[in-house]
């Protein structure tokens, strides 16, 4: 036995230029959003806040293992501001050394998507979108935005698409998986229709506050459970969108699942197909086996990458999901960050696989050059 697990720790040569499909910018203080909010909503934010469907006004129900909403301990800029709030430091710690050609922003905090006061939610979401332009992809051309949408208020979402949909630096529109109902339900279809018409993918990053328990068996005790429950939520989301017939209705819609994992996709597809065969009389609107819609309409970001003991198992899973469907992501600056030099080192990818995973899939999907 060698002193260190050198096979694990040897960096691979990351291909020059990676596309990172999940970077989290945040505000250094709520006042960062002031230029984009009216006095009415600035005051509301200060006094009432988003008033999520959850126990705590200013904390997550399952406390993270790190500060700044679960960030890498080394990701606070020298100023001491929250991790992810300082563009120069993000360049220095991440974009430059990891050779990020493009990074897709996923602004999760603050967010108005789950706000119970929908008028406030719309304004806060709009402010976050303006702030992406003003503070992030405006000054840094490598960064691209996600146009955040309030899913419970599709009319507001459509207004937001009208405002910014044509901005080419918003490379996708985004909603969160947890809301009042499973995302495939028809109340959300206006958003899908608009996304399909716009020709931009719908990016769905794990998260959202629904007020419902994180499992179908109630409230779990631990963060380790809640962290994992995001994967199961994505399985339910795929099931809902496919079974409700979203892709029969919107055959051009492309969906990117962000940070929800992908190794579960093959098993879910086999399960869907098997029981669809028995129960298809219930869902005559589906013209094809569920797995075919999944294969055609979903993409997945890679982080946090699974690490089975035998790397061949991971390669099997990636073969089955499809090398054209997986998009590299780091989740910077969050604690479960994947480093492009190490995360796939044990798999000994072929140059072709490297290229697709780290760069070409995302470039093709988002139309980046």
Partner 1 sequence: MPQRYVVATAGEIPVGGSKAATVAGREIGIFNLGGEYFALLNRCPHEGGPLCKGRRTALFESKRPGTFTSSRPGEILRCPWHGWEFDIRTGRSYCDPDKVRTRAYAVTVEPGRHLVEGPYTAETYSVSVDENYIVVEV
Partner 2 sequence: MIAPEKMETVLSLSHGAIDCDVHPALANTDVLLPYLDDYWREMVQIRTVENLDLNSYPPAVPLSGRPDWRPPRGKPGSDLGLLQRDALDAFDVRCAICNTLYGGPYLPNDDFAAALARGINDWIAKEWLDRDRRLRASIVIAPENPELAADEINRVAPDRRFVQVMVLAAGERPLGKRTYWPIYRAAERHGLPIGIHAGSSFRHPPTSLGWGSYYLEDYVAHAQAFQHQLLSLVAEGVFVEFPTLKVVLIESGITWLPAFLWRFDKTWRGIRTETPWVDRPPTQIVRDHVRLTLQPVDEPPEPARFERLIDHIGSEEMLLFSTDYPHWQFEGSDVFPAGLSDQHRRKIMIDNPLQTYPRLLEARQEAVG
What mask, x for binding partner 2 by CB under 8 A, covers residues 8 to 37? Answer: ------------------------------
Span 258-287, contacts to partner 2 by CB under 8 A? 261, 263-264, 266-268, 270-272, 274-276, 278-279, 281-283
Q: Which runs of E-coded beta strand occur in 117-234? A: 143-148, 170-175, 202-205
What mask, x for binding partner 2 by CB under 8 A, covers residues 130 to 159? Answer: ------------------------------
Q: What are phi and psi of 345, to 5 degrees?
A: -60, -40
Strand partners, 105: 23
Question: b/e map of 164-183 (b: 16 or more CB within 10 Å)?
Answer: bbeeebbbbbbbbbbbeebb
Nearer to partner 1, 73 or 197 (CB): 73
Span 315-344, contacts to partner 2 by CB under 8 A? 316-317, 320, 335-336
Closest CA to 256 of 155, 364, 110: 364
Cα–Cα distance measured from residue 363 to residue 359, given in angstroms and rounded to the nearest whole number:
6
Cα–Cα distance measured from residue 310 to residue 174, given in angstroms and rounded to the nearest whole number:
35
Q: Does 5 help bind partner 1 (rule: CB under 8 A)?
A: yes
Answer for the pair 298, 258: CB distance below 8 angstroms, yes or no. Answer: no
Question: CB of 7: closest distance to partner 1 in angstroms?
Answer: 10
With CB cut-offs between 5 and 8 Å by kind, which of partner 2, partner 1, none does residue 282 bind? partner 2
DSSP state of 199: T
Span 65-94, contacts to partner 1 by CB under 8 A? 65-66, 72-74
Nearer to partner 1, 130 or 339 (CB): 339
Q: Which stretch binds partner 2 (CB under 8 A): 47-55, 144-152, 188-196, 236-244?
A: 236-244
The SS3 of residue 276 is helix
Of 153, 226, 338, 360, the residue at the interface with partner 1 (CB under 8 A) is 338
With CB cut-offs between 5 and 8 Å by kind, which of partner 2, partner 1, none does residue 361 bind? none
Closest CA to 257 of 232, 276, 227: 232
Which residue carries 């028809």 as its tokens?
A: 186
DSSP state of 346: G
Burial class (CB in 10 A: 0-12, 13-18, 19+), 342: middle
Helix (H) or strand (E) holding 318: helix 311-321
Of 98, 118, 167, 236, the residue at the interface with partner 2 (CB under 8 A) is 236
What mask, x for binding partner 2 by CB under 8 A, covers residues 169 to 208? Answer: --------xxxxxxxxx-----------------------
Nearer to partner 2, 118 or 167 (CB): 118
Of 96, 162, 168, 225, the residue at the interface with partner 2 (CB under 8 A) is 225
Integer-rounded Cα radius of gyration of the chain:
20
With CB cut-offs between 5 and 8 Å by kind, which of partner 2, partner 1, none does residue 217 bind? partner 2
Number of Cβ within a 10 Å radius of residue 161: 21
Question: Contact positions toward partner 1, by CB under 8 A?
Answer: 1, 3-5, 8-9, 11, 65-66, 72-74, 335-339, 341-343
């Amino acid at each position: 036995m060698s002193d260190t697990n050198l096979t694990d720790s040897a960096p691979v040569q990351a291909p020059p230029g990676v596309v990172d499909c999940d970077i989290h910018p945040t505000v250094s203080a709520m006042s960062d959003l002031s230029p984009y909010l009216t006095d009415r909503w600035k005051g509301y934010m200060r006094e009432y806040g988003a008033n999520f469907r959850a126990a705590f006004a200013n904390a997550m129900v399952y406390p993270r293992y790190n500060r700044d909403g679960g960030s890498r301990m080394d990701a606070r800029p020298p100023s001491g501001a929250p991790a992810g709030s300082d563009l120069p430091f993000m360049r220095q710690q991440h974009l430059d050394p990891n050779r990020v050609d493009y990074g897709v922003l996923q602004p999760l905090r603050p967010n108005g998507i789950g706000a119970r006061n929908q008028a406030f939610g719309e304004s806060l979401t709009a402010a976050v979108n303006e702030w992406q332009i003003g503070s992030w992809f405006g000054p840094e051309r490598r960064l691209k935005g996600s146009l955040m949408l309030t899913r419970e208020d599709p009319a507001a979402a459509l207004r937001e698409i009208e405002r910014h949909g044509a901005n080419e630096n918003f490379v996708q529109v985004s909603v969160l998986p947890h809301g009042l109902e499973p995302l495939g339900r028809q109340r959300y279809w206006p958003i899908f229709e608009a996304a399909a018409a716009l020709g931009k993918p719908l990016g769905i990053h794990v998260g959202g506050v629904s007020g419902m328990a994180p499992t179908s068996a109630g409230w779990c005790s631990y963060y380790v459970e809640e962290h994992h429950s995001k994967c199961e939520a994505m399985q339910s989301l795929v099931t809902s969108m496919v079974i409700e017939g979203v892709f029969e209705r919107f055959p051009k819609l492309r969906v990117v699942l962000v940070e929800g994992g992908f190794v579960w996709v093959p098993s879910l597809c086999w399960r869907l197909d098997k029981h669809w065969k028995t129960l298809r009389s219930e869902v005559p609107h589906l013209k094809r086996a569920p797995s075919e819609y999944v294969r055609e309409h979903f993409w997945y970001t890679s982080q946090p990458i699974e690490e089975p003991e035998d790397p061949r198992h991971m390669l099997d899973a990636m073969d089955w999901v499809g090398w054209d469907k997986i998009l590299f992501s780091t989740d910077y600056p969050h604690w479960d960050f994947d480093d492009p030099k190490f995360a796939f080192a044990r798999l000994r990818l072929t140059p072709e696989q490297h290229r697709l995973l780290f760069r070409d899939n995302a470039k093709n999907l988002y139309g980046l050059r």
